[in-house]
Amino acid sequence: MADWIATHTGRFKAIVSHASVYDKVSMLATEELWFEEHDMQGTPWTNPESYRKWAPVTYAGELGKFKTPTLVIAGERDYRVPYTQSLEFFSALQRQGVPSKLVVFPDEGHWVLKPQNSQFWYKTFLDWLAIYVKCDATRRGGLFTYIASQSKNVLYQNWLFCGFSTQCPSSGKTTNFDGTPWRCSALKNSSDCVYGTR
């Protein structure tokens, strides 16, 4: 869906495309042909108009018009949405001067499951949004920060949004988040639970 959005609107500050479909015809490489043929009501040779109409590649010329910064992520072992879909999309972004970055996990499939890869995925995702999505504290909904709480070797991650209140998972303290960095005062080691801006 991210590739479709990128080719149809400029209303977003940033897009993250993870294992997204770009070219419906080249989805013949999927292990799930039934879904493609069902959704497109045929094959590319029996219903080519459907494949053309619903493929973001058809509207790729709009990428240069909207220029929405886009992070593209794929797993090389993804047989549901072959990673070549992401390579094609990234090439179109680059050729049209759209701020973009490509991350391919050679040892992952449709989902990023290995712990070290998952951590890298989240860091890259959050870093991308931190660059392009600026928080306006006067309105709700802008991504502002995240919580990283380490206790007994367990990493908890959550999201905080401007204008929302949150509760510290360790101390239970509730605060309204206005963008000011905040630390749990109830903890002996304040680095165990940090609420801070990105």
Question: For the chain, which residues make up each domain, given as ranges?
Answer: 2-132, 143-197
For the ranges 29-43, 128-142, 159-173, the lowest mean pLDDT is seen at 159-173
> How does pLDDT run across 3-16, given as a tens digit for each residue?
999 999 999 999 99
- Tokens found for residue 62: 């709009």
Q: What is residue 168's predicted lDDT score, i.e. its pLDDT? A: 57
> How does pLDDT run across 51-105, given as a tens digit for each residue?
999 999 999 999 999 999 999 999 999 999 999 999 999 999 999 999 999 999 9
Q: What CATH architecture is 2-132?
A: 3-Layer(aba) Sandwich (3.40)
